[in-house]
Amino acid sequence: MRTLISTAFISLDGVVEAPGGEPGYRNAGWTFEDIEFLPEAFDIKGQEQKEATAMLLGRASYQAFSPVWPDMEDFADYRAMPKYVVSTTLTEDDLVSNWGETTILRSTDDVAALKETEGGPIIIHGSASLNRSLSDAGLIDRYHLLVFPLLLGAGKRLFSTTDKDTQKLKLVAHEAYANGLQKNIFDVVR
């Protein structure tokens, strides 16, 4: 079974919306405003590219990333990596041609079936709605969270508000940085 890893830039109050400056969100770009850049705090992003064997995205994140990430040197390791997009509306004609093999999945059941295939870890970038659905379905195995010392209030959240049984997490790695960022890696306890 493949490991499904959710990775996110997240505010202390759980917001994951528009960390890089995507339009339409009041606090867009919050990851780079008034926070000193320390390369070591972002080392996890390079490690994720080396360890992942596939990328999973929701429709909105795919549409935001696919015009930009294929040409970015910072994300070079993702170019040839197989990608899976969970969407009920995208068609093959909506996919970009310069970002490697991309497969459209239609449901969380399709993601569960993907996890049963041979291969290494699958990384989820962005995709707040997809993350909430996958978490509620018990499909996420690990969280890589880079927590920013900010309270953003409103905005898309990583975790759902669904009334459900407690989901326990085990902290397997953590580090705090001089700029206030915290890296927290949690395995989901089954």
Whole-number pLDDT of residue 132: 97
Q: How far is CA 56 from CA 3, 153, 164, 182, in A?
A: 12, 27, 24, 24
Pairing of strands 83-86, 142-148: unpaired
Whole-number pLDDT of residue 21: 85
Question: Within 13 A of 112's CA, how many CA atoms are on the CB side?
Answer: 10
Whole-number pLDDT of residue 23: 85
Question: Residue 131 has what DSSP assignment?
Answer: H
Nearest Cα to Cα of residue 105 among 78, 134, 79: 134
Q: Are 175 and 38 contacting, i.e. CB atoms less than 8 angstroms apart?
A: no
Whole-number pLDDT of residue 19: 94
Which superfamily does CATH assign the domain made up of 4-188 to? Dihydrofolate Reductase, subunit A (3.40.430.10)
Whole-number pLDDT of residue 120: 97
The one-digit pLDDT tens for each residue of the chain (190 residues) are 999 999 999 999 999 999 988 888 999 999 988 899 999 999 999 999 999 999 999 999 999 999 999 999 988 899 999 999 999 999 999 999 999 999 999 999 999 999 999 999 999 999 999 999 999 999 999 999 999 999 999 999 999 999 999 999 999 999 999 999 999 999 999 9
